[in-house]
Structures are given as C-alpha cells and as structure tokens.
C-alpha cells in the first residue's frame, strides 16, 4: 500500500508547513475581514467556526485536496453499503445502519439489516415501557427503580456519557454504571440499592470480557443473597437480569433468559455501539420516543457526512485540521473542552472512540505507517479546566489544539449563569487565538520582567462547536460527527479504525497472572525480574 506521505497532496502540505507554523491569526483576521464567515460550516444542528485555526487559503485548499486524493467519499460509501472494510476481522462496519429509519432498506451478506435493527428496537421499547410503567415487577413483586449497567469500554462509556448528557430527560428510573473490575466500584454502587428494586443489564458485545463477567457474577450473588431463597433462583435472574450482547450462547450459559437478551451484530464495534442494544439503560431512562430521536440525530449527521461537499463537511473539516496538526505541525495531543456540565464525560467517551480507533502503527496492508497517527485525546468541562490546566494551553511550550463545545440554549439557567459560562467560552477562544502582546502588556502599565510573564503568544488553535440546544437528537449528531471524523482520519492514515488488537496482550498476560496471585503455594515465576518481584511483594503483603 503506497503511503499517503508519497502523494503530491501530502508533499504540498509539507511545503506549506513553515507558513502554518509561522501563521499569525491576528494578521490573518486583519487581512480578511470575512474570515469567520469563510471558515464556518453547519451540519445538522451543529455550527462549527474553524476560523481560529492555523490555516490560510492555500493550506485549507491543500488539506481539502488531500481528502479528495485519499478517496474519503469512496471509502465512506463502502462503509455505508456494508463492505467488509474491517479487513483484519473480515467484518462490515455498519453502525450507521443502527440509525436508519424503519422504511430504509439495506441488505448485507444476504441479511435485511434494517428489519433486524428495528425488530430489536421494537423489543427493547416494549420491555422499556413495561419497566418504566411499573408493569414489570421484580421477583418479590416490587417495581424496578434502579438500573445497573455492567459493562466496560464501549459497553459503558457511551451509555454513561449520554445518560449524563441527557439527565434532564430522565424520568423515574435511576441508572448506575459499573465498569471497573475493582470490587469497590460494585460495592459502592450496590450499597445504596435494594435488590428487590434493582435490574442489572449485563452489557458486553462478546460476553467474555473478564471485568464484566466478574462484575456480573458478583451482582448475581448479591441479588440472590439479598432476595433470599423464596424468590427462587431462576425467577430472580429472569426478573432482574437482562443481557445486551451478540453472544447468545454465553448469555444462556450465564442463566439469562434469551427473552431478556437484546442482540446486535458483529458489524457494530464496541466503541460505536451506544446506539445499539448497548443503549438500553438510556432507553430505560429517557424512554423509547426520546431514544428514537437520539438515533435520528445520528442519522442527520450520517446524511450530512454522505452528502456535503468535502470543504463544508463537518467531520471532514475537523479530521483535516487534526491531520494538519498531528502530521505537519507535530502537535501530539488534542483537547476536547465542553462548556456544558451535561457533557462532562464526553472527553472520556472520545478517548476510546478516537484512541482505540486510530492509535495504530500498522496500515491496512500490514506494513508500518510512515507518519504519525491518532493524537492523545484529553479534556474536561470548561470552566473547570480553566482553573486547572489552561495555563499550559495558553502559555506552555506545547501547542494543544482544542475543540470548544458550547450549547446556546441551556436546559437550566440559574441566576443568569449560562451567559457567564458562554462568555468564558468565547473569551477563551479569543485569548488563545490572539493572545496579548508585550506592547499591550506594557500599555497596561506593566514593566520589567513581568512583561514576559504576562504576555500571551496567541496562535493557539481552537474549533468552536455550537449546538443550539442539548437534546437527544443533538447529542446523537455530536457523537456521529466525531465517529465520522475518526473515520476520515483513519482513511487518510490508511489504518483500520475498527479493530483493537492493542488491547489484547495485557488481557492475555493478566489471565496468566491471576493464578500466580491466588495460588496457596508460592508458584514458580518466570516473568522478568520486575514482574516477578511485584507478584512476590503482593503475595507477601496481601491480607486474606
Ligand atoms: O478491551 C477493549 C474492548 O474490546 C473494547 O473495544 C470494548 O468496547 C470493550 O473491550 C468491551 O467489550 P465487550 O462489550 O465485548 O465486553
């Protein structure tokens, strides 16, 4: 596979790199008064102002040429039509089919995918309605009031993030999310709950993930102990456990009635699965109608991505800017800074989406990449971050491109605080872009060594994403925007964004270490001297 670095479009960008590195946003804005307008695009209900990036006309058109040369559109069509673009696992990549309307049609590998998706959605809705209305009773006749989603990675981060984002839409049920195999996570969650009123959702695509199965087993013991023998073991599990999985055999073996299993398909990657049955906790919390709206939001963005020209296509624009920074200006990290408390888990969600997808160094054909790939994604909600790490973003030696995300109309406005929040958002973007020169500092009466300390270099790039309102629909749009951004970057880098072989080695080694920690007699250890010593120390120090 020829590397993208050999293309004339890449070479052109390399030639433009010094201009980008030395670009002054003050000068660019002064020279082109319409710059903000020129570099603002809309897709679905999201507006992106990308004018405060280190680009000029030449750089921007060279980036768009790179997308065209990388055949982003063709690969997107292959994905949407169900081709097996996940070549290392020989699978289609069809999370976009999860949000197709019921009257759409898509047949993949001989299967009517849309009919399957809507059949599952129908079953999920019926059960969600029954639990929400109280018609579904626990084994002792109580109404279910608490949902505990047990899952990790994509089977946790998506539902948890969206549950928080849509807290305002939540009705009576309270959801809890247990992911960590650290028993403390389960313990701290269960100690507040009454088994008679608790429903567990075991969320695991494979139904083999060590952490999730350990937590699911503990939850089952807690439930059976708590309900007592009278409830009956089978009734208790049937009334208090559901499975969200692709593994019918594993689910049945665990003891969950297949009637209480909501399936999905191998063409849904874990980190792309919040809009599948994995979103059941969310449907229980916000109801089937709002969940349908959530899916419609994804579909809005899918349609935008499929139809908008490259230079006005939100996911493409964000992907190209990321490539510019990662590959040409050598910026290693990318911050996501939502100015919305409801989006507090969005950066964590994007860490998996982006880093598990594009944190790769092997191309689709198995050869090593000749260029950098996925950046380190991190972030926290503004304004909290401002009082923590923004110092480095403003004046540190690393440049951190950032996505600033704002919601124009708040769900709650207490004491006019939303305007204060938004003022901070706009002020940060302005300060990062334009800084404060030494002359300006001096003009404010500062002199001597303090001048340098109080100078801001500016030219710190940001995207400004504005959403009119945070609703199920716009949250769906926002997620799909980033899914497709990651897809475009993976396409340009020539990597498979849909496998995750890098998480396997640690899992395999942990399986071998468990018996070495728990054996009664000291086992013979043949790891390296550091790992051997750590295991020995643990065995000596661990109280049982
Ligand atoms: O370990 C990584 C991973 O495979 C993720 O890709 C996935 O989202 C997570 O584990 C959970 O997997 P599962 O849903 O099969 O339990």
Note the Cα 292 to chain centre separation in Å.
20
State in Å, rounded, how far the first CA of the chain is from the last one: 55
Question: Average pLDDT over the chain, rounded to whole?
Answer: 97
CA of 208 to the centre of ligand 1 (A): 9
pLDDT, tens digit, for every residue of 295-317? 999 999 999 999 999 999 999 99
Residues 6+ apart with CB under 8 A from 543: none
- pLDDT of 229: 75
pLDDT, tens digit, for every residue of 117-136? 999 999 999 999 999 999 99
Interior angle at CA 410, CA 405 and CA 414, nearest 5: 125
Ligand 1, atom 9, residue with closest C-alpha = 153
How many Å apart are CA 322 and CA 404, to the nearest integer?
14
Residue pair 150/203 in contact by the 8 Å Cβ criterion = yes
Residues of the chain with pLDDT > 70: what percent? 100
Q: Where are the beta strands (DSSP E) in 97-155?
A: 107-108, 111-112, 146-150
Residue pair 331/323 in contact by the 8 Å Cβ criterion = no
CA of 353 to the centre of ligand 1 (A): 12
Residue pair 409/469 in contact by the 8 Å Cβ criterion = yes
Residues with Cβ within 6 A of ligand 1?
Answer: 152-155, 204-206, 209, 212, 270-271, 356, 500, 503
Residues 6+ apart with CB under 8 A from 142: 194, 196, 197
Residue that is written with structure tokens 């539902």 in the block: 159
For a pocket test of ligand 1, which of 209, 211, 266, 506 has the largest count of ligand atoms closer than 8 A to its C-beta? 209
- pLDDT of 233: 83
- Which of these, 91, 96, 114, lies nearest to 104 by C-alpha position? 114
Q: How confident is the model at residue 1 (pLDDT cuts 50, 70, 90)?
A: low
How many Å apart are CA 157 and CA 498, to the nearest integer?
17
Residues 6+ apart with CB under 8 A from 431: 394, 456, 458
pLDDT, tens digit, for every residue of 187-233? 999 999 999 999 999 999 999 999 999 999 999 999 999 998 777 88
CA of 521 to the centre of ligand 1 (A): 33
pLDDT, tens digit, for every residue of 206-219? 999 999 999 999 99
- SS3 at position 308: coil
- pLDDT of 234: 84
- pLDDT of 162: 98
Here the tokens at position 236 are 């208790």
- pLDDT of 230: 74
Is the pTM value of this prediction over 0.95?
yes
Per mean pLDDT, which range of 42-56, 406-420, 446-460 is the poorest? 406-420
């Amino acid at each position: 596979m020829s590397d993208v670095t050999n293309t004339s479009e890449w070479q052109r960008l390399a030639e433009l790199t010094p201009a980008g590195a030395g670009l002054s946003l003050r000068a660019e804005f002064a020279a082109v008064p319409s710059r903000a307008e020129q570099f603002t695009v809309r897709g679905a209900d999201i507006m992106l102002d990308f004018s405060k990036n280190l680009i000029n006309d030449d750089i921007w058109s060279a980036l768009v040429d790179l997308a065209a040369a990388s055949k982003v559109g063709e690969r997107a069509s292959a994905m949407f039509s169900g081709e097996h673009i996940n070549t290392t696992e020989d699978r289609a990549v069809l999370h976009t089919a999860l949000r197709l309307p019921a009257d759409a049609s898509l047949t993949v590998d001989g299967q009517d995918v849309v009919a399957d998706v809507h059949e599952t959605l129908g079953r999920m809705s019926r059960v969600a309605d029954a639990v929400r209305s109280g018609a579904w009773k626990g084994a002792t006749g109580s109404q279910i009031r608490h949902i505990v989603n047990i899952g990790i990675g994509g089977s946790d981060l998506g539902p948890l993030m969206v549950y928080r984002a849509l807290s305002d839409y939540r009705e009576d049920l309270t959801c809890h999310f247990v992911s960590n195999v650290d028993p403390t996570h389960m313990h701290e969650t269960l100690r507040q709950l009454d088994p008679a009123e608790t429903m567990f959702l075991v969320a695991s695509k494979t139904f083999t993930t060590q952490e999730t199965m350990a937590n699911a087993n503990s939850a089952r013991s807690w439930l059976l102990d708590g309900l007592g023998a009278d409830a009956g073991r089978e009734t208790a599990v049937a009334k208090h456990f559901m499975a969200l999985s692709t593994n019918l055999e594993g689910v049945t073996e665990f003891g969950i009635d297949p009637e209480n299993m909501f399936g999905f398909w191998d063409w849904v990657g874990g980190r792309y699965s919040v809009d599948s049955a994995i979103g059941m906790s969310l449907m229980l919390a916000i109801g089937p109608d709002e969940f349908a709206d959530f899916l419609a939001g994804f579909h809005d963005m899918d349609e935008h991505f499929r139809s908008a020209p490259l230079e006005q296509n939100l996911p493409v624009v964000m992907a190209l800017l990321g490539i510019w920074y990662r590959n040409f200006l050598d910026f290693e990290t990318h911050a996501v800074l939502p100015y919305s408390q409801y989006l507090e888990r969005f950066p964590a969600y994007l860490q998996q989406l982006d880093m598990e997808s594009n944190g790769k160094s092997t191309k689709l054909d198995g050869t090593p990449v000749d260029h950098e790939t996925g950046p380190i994604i991190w972030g926290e909600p503004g304004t909290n971050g401002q009082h923590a790490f923004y110092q480095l973003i403003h004046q540190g030696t690393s440049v951190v491109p950032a996505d600033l995300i704002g919601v124009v109309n708040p769900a709650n406005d207490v004491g006019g605080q939303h305007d204060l929040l938004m003022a901070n958002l706009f002020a940060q973007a302005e300060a990062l872009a334009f800084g404060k020169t030494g002359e300006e500092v001096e003009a404010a009466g500062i002199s001597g060594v303090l001048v340098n300390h109080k100078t801001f270099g500016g030219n710190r790039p940001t995207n400004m994403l504005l959403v009119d309102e945070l609703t199920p629909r716009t949250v769906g749009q926002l997620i799909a925007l980033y899914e497709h951004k990651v897809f475009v970057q993976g396409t340009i880098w020539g990597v498979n964004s849909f496998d995750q072989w890098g998480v396997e080695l640690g899992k395999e080694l942990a399986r071998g270490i468990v018996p070495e920690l728990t054996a009664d007699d000291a086992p013979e250890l043949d790891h390296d001297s550091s790992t051997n010593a750590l295991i020995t120390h643990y065995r000596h120090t661990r109280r049982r």
